[in-house]
Structure 1
Amino acid sequence: MKKYHPVDSLQSPRFSGVSTFMRLPHVRTLEDVDFVVVGQPFDTATTFRPGCRFGPRGIREASSILKAYNPVLDVDLFEHLSGVDYGDIDIVPGYLEESHTRITEGMSPIFESGVTPVILGGDHSITLPTLRALRRHHGPVSLLHFDAHSDTSSDYFGKPYNHGTPFYWAMEEGLINPETSIQVGMRGHYYSKDCHDYALNKGMEIITGWELHEIGIPAAIERIRERIKGTKVFLTFDIDFMDAAYAPGTGTPEIGGFTSYEALRLVTESCLGQNMLGMDLVEVLPDLDHAQITALAAAGVIHAFLSVLAKNKTA
């Protein structure tokens, strides 16, 4: 067993104790850990339904049901990984650019240390300052992006930054390599065709939601793996990638999406054997999440990512 691991739920009931991700110890350390779980509770950049500032809390609470052994990959996470719940980045409520600066500065030492962050959002604008921190230490990276929306608008009401613009600015700032990046699941409507064309013209590959349904999960996984292989990869997962039936607790739900099983399989099989530098999962809105449907799905996707990290260590 690695140094940092969850509380033993055969000794302490899962509904007891302080709520941390997967009942990991809350220790703000980068020593003797392979990964850290970090909350970024910022939602001032939302454009429709706010409340995902409480996403990190909701995901942590739902994650108490998770266990260490993943039978799909035949791997026990904490035989191969040491991890902690690092706590939250202290954002500035109501102030986007100041909060983004705090996120960049807070994430920078994590990337510098070589520890893999697992980030709980927050709205999708948080990925931009995270990528700014990542570039400081790894240069431009490949982006593996699951979402119902491309998030490549240039502005909103004349302002550059919100949860629909992070990847426009990530490409403009040279934070990601579009030629080795891929967006998967886009099916939401656009304000204009320019948003879709911008990413394609930059060299981004896109598997739309309609196309993903048509070609199927195995074919999509093959395309994703071919696109990102041999590169440094950051995974960003917007929970509205899933159909609104599987993720009702989110700010901009979309129908015509994907099941929790499909999400688990895509993350698991796409990331196996890849050089994954970290991930975030964003846009969980607990106030609209009946029976924790969305938070449970989010926790499960993160568990799949951690399982991949553990399995990659056995290769």
Structure 2
Amino acid sequence: MPHYPGWDATFRGKVWRTTHFPRIKEDMPTFLGVPHAVKKSDLEGADVVIIGAPFVAGFGRQYSGVDKDEWIEATKRVRQQSIRYRSGYIQDFDLDVFEHLKVVDYGDADIPPETSYEGTVEKILEAQEATIEKVNAALDVGAIPIVIGQNSPCGSYAVGKPIADRVTGPVGMVSLDTHWDAWPYDWATMSPHIAGSTNWKDKLYRDCPNMKIANLVEIGERGMLEDPATVRRYVREGACFMPMWKIRTELGIEGCVRNLDQAFTGTDAVYCHFDMDVLGGAGPTDGDILGELAEPIGMTDYEAIRLGHECGKRGADGLSFICIPPGSAVTYRVIVYVMMYFMAGLALRKLGKAA
């Protein structure tokens, strides 16, 4: 696994800023130096609210063959890598995101660290509710939550359900993943109360009647991992399924982007979920960084960033991340790019330039 440089080495590296930027903790700046929202009243007027959800599923010290200490650091390390950038100006679009969107960082959900090592049903539900509380606070002021998570339910169900609960009409979803996460039960706990890594999508559709599979755009799965009945059910019920094979052989990224419309057309809200194990071995670092989650025919970093941007342009109502590949500085920067290019899409939409 690549050696992550840590805060001191990161801050001594190519950082354009001085020491004067908001910090959530000594070694955790706010995302790209945006204002730190400490209280709910600090969210007033925000267009986008950044939220961390540091949670890793299961009992013990490892998740999918990788030390949990590496997984759980994602919310901090993404922020650390973000501060190396000068501002919200994206030269690709000649656009300063922060001139058009008010963005604040609401810190991390109140999830005790031991929850990631002692994954009881009670602790997981407490972590889920802590995340939902932060997401609801953002939605209450009309802002778009962006949740930097690491496992379900905190980085998936706890974001999608509050979004669905806000509207009465159909809710679409754009999901990037290596796995469908649509089994009828959570393997880790076998509890019907838990929307876990293996079943959060199934539970979200059961608990949110206005979320329709016909408005699901599912991107990135491949290979021999899934139960055929599960995949066939989702396709039969109208999901737009784009496995990586189809993207590589037929659609390309432009065809994939066009198909995003299935989640947005005729819906009242859209939830975007990026499970970053979708990168497999095709991202900017060794695929083995993901442990048992690494699979061939992975999505590239450009494809993930582009899809984030296009979801922003179409007016997504929330974005979340799980399974952020651990331990690589450049891979954390991919998440920074997805977030910023997503927000650039929101800004272009606000300016009437999203076509």
The one-character-per-residue Cα deviations of 1:190-235 (angstroms, maximum 9, x if unpaired) are: 2522231232233322111111111211111111125423432111
Structure 2 residue aligned with 1:131, among 150, 160, 166? Answer: 160
**Cα distance in structure 2, aligned partners of 1:190 and 1:169:** 20
* C-alpha separation in 2, matches of 1:266 and 1:123: 21
Give, in angstroms, the shift of residue 188 of structure 1. 5.1
Q: d(CA) in 2 for partners of 1:235 and 1:101?
A: 20
* Structure 1 unmatched runs, 5+: 1-8
CA contact (8 A) 1:147 1:241 kept: yes
Partner of 2:11: none
Give yes or no for contact 1:24–1:83 (8 Å, CA) kept in 2: yes
Structure-1 residue corresponding to 2:296: 255
Equivalent pairs: percent with the same residue? 24
Larger radius of gyration: 2
Say which SS state the counterpart of residue 26 (structure 1) adopts. coil
**1: distance between equivalents of 2:167 and 2:248?**
34
Aligned to 1:32: 45
Match for residue 228 of structure 1 among 242, 264, 278: 264
Provide the residue aligned with 2:79 in structure 1. 60
Q: Which amino acid aligns with 2:78?
A: I
Distance 1:75 1:179, change over 3 A: same
Provide the aligned C-alpha RMSD in A: 2.5
Contact 2:17/2:83 (<8 A) preserved: no
Say whether residues 1:197 and 2:238 are aligned partners: no
- Separation in 1 of the partners of 2:325 and 2:310? 27
| Distance (Å, rounded) in 1 between the aligned partners of 2:22 and 2:221 | 39
8 A Cα contact 1:36 1:84, kept in partner: yes
The residue correspondences of 1:70-81 to structure 2 (distance < 5 A) are 70-81=90-101
TM-score normalised according to structure 1 size: 0.87
What residue is the counterpart of 2:322 in the other structure? 282
Alignment correspondent of 2:183? 153
Q: Measure the CA separation in 2 of the matches of 1:186 and 1:33.
A: 35
Residue 87 of structure 1 deviates from its aligned partner by 0.3
What letter is aligned with 1:39? G
- 1:280 deviates by 0.6
Q: Partner of 1:96 in structure 2?
A: 124
Equivalent in the alignment of 2:148: 120
Relative to structure 1, the CA distance from residue 173 to residue 59 in structure 2 (aligned partners, 3 Å threshold; closer, same or farther) is: same
Listed one character per residue, the Cα deviations across residues 263-304 of structure 1 (whole Å, up to 9, x for unaligned) are: 2222223442x2311101221253xx24x1321111111111
Moved more, 86-95 or 189-198: 189-198
Shift in Å at residue 47 of structure 1? 5.7
38-47 or 140-149, which deviates more: 38-47
Output the CA distance in 2 between the equivalents of 1:118 and 1:314: 21
Q: Where does the alignment leave 5 or more consecutive residues of structure 2 unmatched?
A: 1-14
**Distance in structure 1 (CA, Å) of the matches to 2:241 and 2:137:** 32
Q: Does structure 2 conserve the Cα–Cα contact (< 8 Å) formed by 1:153 and 1:168?
A: yes
Counterpart in the other structure of 1:82 = 102
Contact 1:147 1:185 in 2 (8 A): yes
Report which stretch shifted further, 77-86 or 199-208. Answer: 199-208
Report the AA paired with residue 18 of structure 2: S
C-alpha separation in 2, matches of 1:11 and 1:257: 34
- Residues 1:239 and 2:276 are matched in the alignment: yes
- In structure 2, distance between residues paired with 1:296 and 1:276: 22
Of 42-51 and 63-72, the range deviating more from structure 2: 42-51
Aligned residues: 303
Moved more, 263-272 or 162-171: 263-272
Whether the aligned pair in 2 keeps the contact of 1:152 and 1:199 (CA below 8 Å) is no
Deviation track 1:234-282 (CA, whole Å, cap 9, x = no partner) reads: 111111122324254446222211211122222223442x231110122
SS of 1:151's equivalent in the other structure is coil
Of residues 62-71 and 154-163 in structure 1, the stretch that sits farther from structure 2 once superposed is 154-163
Q: Relative to structure 1, is the Cα distance of residues 226 and 177 closer, same or farther in structure 2, using a 3 angstrom cutoff?
A: closer
- 1:124: how far off? 3.6
The code of the aligned residue for 1:12 comes to: T
CA contact 2:217–2:262 (8 Å) conserved in 1:
no
Contact 2:178-2:275 within 8 A present in 1 as well = yes
Counterpart in the other structure of 1:6: none
CA shift at 1:169, angstroms?
Answer: 0.9
C-alpha distance in 2 between matches for 1:83 and 1:242: 27
Distance 2:247 2:180 in 1: 15
Moved runs in structure 1, 4+ residues, more than 3 A? 13-18, 156-161, 247-251
Indicate if the aligned counterparts of 1:144 and 1:182 stay in contact, CA closer than 8 A.
yes
CA–CA distance in structure 2, aligned partners of residues 256 and 305 of structure 1:
24
CA distance in 1, matches of 2:104, 2:162: 20
**What do residues 15-64 of structure 1 show as CA deviations (whole Å, max 9, x unaligned)?**
99652211222223211211110001111259624443221111111112
